[in-house]
């Protein structure tokens, strides 16, 4: 781990710290007082810093955590934003990181426009997840003086990051308590992908799952797959509005502005 930078966000106390983990950038922020909750976010470039964010729009995740926590009367969670590895030299980096590796290597067929030169053997979802749980999160928690085993840990992401969040909860239910999945990109695998990820989740008991999408642009394609996922969740014994929430947001699309507008609701669902 190497320290790169630190910066401030308007209306957010303290600083965001930027670290390098073997070539992967990670930003993190923590409240000034010790917390017992940790939120880990995919696509870290869109979490805190508008200079790295898509269309210079972040999720305003720290601001949301502060608002919701104040209303609930609790200490806000620490937040870790993990950047994907896509670059000019590694154009498939995000896809490699966020695609549920075991699911597609296990027989689910990718649908849509996939470069014929790309091989599923190149997927690195398991390596990416292990880097988060075994290196990034423990290192940052140690720096903050937090005992990671005692933290309530959620993982959050959108689109492919939504898939990766559900996959992470299924792979590591011992580590994560909650998956917050926005605009889950079901069309890349269709109903077989829904089957694999929902059936891969832990049995409902001490975990939570949030899934949501909009009705504009790419998000408009998600409804039939999400309805199928919702039915499977209920069939598996998840309790709607208790340990499982599903939402469709009108006039909401597949972009950071839309997700930032409603992030308070899934944040409250997790923290309450």
Residue 11 confidence class, pLDDT cut points 50, 70, 90: very high
pLDDT tens-place string over residues 38-94: 999 999 999 999 999 999 999 999 999 999 999 999 999 999 999 999 999 999 999
Query: Could you read off the pLDDT of 111-149 as tens digits, one per residue?
Result: 876 677 788 899 999 999 999 999 999 999 999 999 999
Residue 43's pLDDT is what? 98
Tell me what pLDDT residue 98 has: 98
pLDDT at 16 over 80: yes
Instruction: Kindly report the average pLDDT of the chain as a whole number.
Output: 96
The pTM of the whole model exceeds 0.95: yes
- Please say if the pLDDT value at position 250 is more than 80: yes
Residue 17: predicted pLDDT: 98
Of the CA atoms within 13 Å of residue 26, those in its CB half-sphere come to 25
pLDDT of residue 111: 87
Domain boundaries, the chain: 2-271
**First-to-final CA distance of the chain:** 33
pLDDT at 113: 62
Q: 148 near 172, Cβ under 8 Å?
A: no
The full 3-state SS of 58-118, as one line of letters, equals CCCHHHHHHHHHHHHCCCCCEEEEECCCCCCCCCCHHHHHHCCHHHHHCCCCCCCCCCCCC
Instruction: Determine the pLDDT at residue 195.
Output: 98
| Residue 267 confidence (pLDDT) | 98
Q: Is the pLDDT of residue 227 over 80?
A: yes
Q: Is 6 left (phi over 0), alpha (psi -120 to 50) or beta?
A: beta
The pLDDT, as a whole number, for residue 259 is 98
Share of the chain above pLDDT 70, in %: 99
- The hierarchical CATH code for the domain 2-271 is 3.40.50.1820
């Amino acid at each position: 781990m190497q320290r790169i930078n630190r910066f401030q966000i308007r209306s957010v106390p303290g600083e965001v710290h930027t670290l390098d983990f073997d070539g992967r950038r990670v930003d993190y922020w923590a409240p000034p007082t010790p917390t017992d909750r940790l939120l880990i976010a995919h696509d870290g470039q869109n979490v805190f810093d508008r200079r790295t964010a898509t269309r210079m729009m972040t999720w305003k995740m720290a601001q949301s955590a502060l608002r919701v926590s104040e209303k609930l009367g609790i200490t806000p969670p620490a937040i870790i934003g993990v950047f994907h590895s896509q670059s000019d030299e590694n154009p498939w980096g995000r896809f490699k990181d966020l695609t549920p590796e075991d699911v597609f290597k296990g027989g689910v067929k990718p649908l849509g426009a996939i470069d014929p030169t790309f091989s599923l053997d190149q997927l690195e979802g398991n390596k990416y997840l292990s880097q988060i749980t075994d290196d990034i999160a423990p290192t940052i928690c140690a720096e903050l003086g937090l005992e990671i085993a005692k933290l309530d840990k959620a993982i959050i992401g959108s689109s492919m990051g939504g898939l990766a969040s559900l996959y992470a909860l299924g792979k590591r239910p011992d580590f994560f308590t909650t998956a917050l999945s926005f605009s889950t990109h079901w069309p890349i695998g269709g109903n077989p992908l829904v089957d694999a990820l929902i059936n891969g989740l832990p049995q409902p008991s001490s975990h939570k799952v949030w899934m949501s999408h909009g009705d504009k642009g790419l998000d408009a394609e998600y409804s039939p797959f999400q309805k199928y996922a919702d039915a499977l969740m209920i069939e598996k014994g998840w309790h709607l509005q208790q340990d499982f929430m599903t939402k469709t947001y009108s006039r909401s699309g597949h972009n950071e502005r839309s997700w930032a507008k409603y992030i308070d609701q899934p944040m409250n669902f997790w923290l309450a």
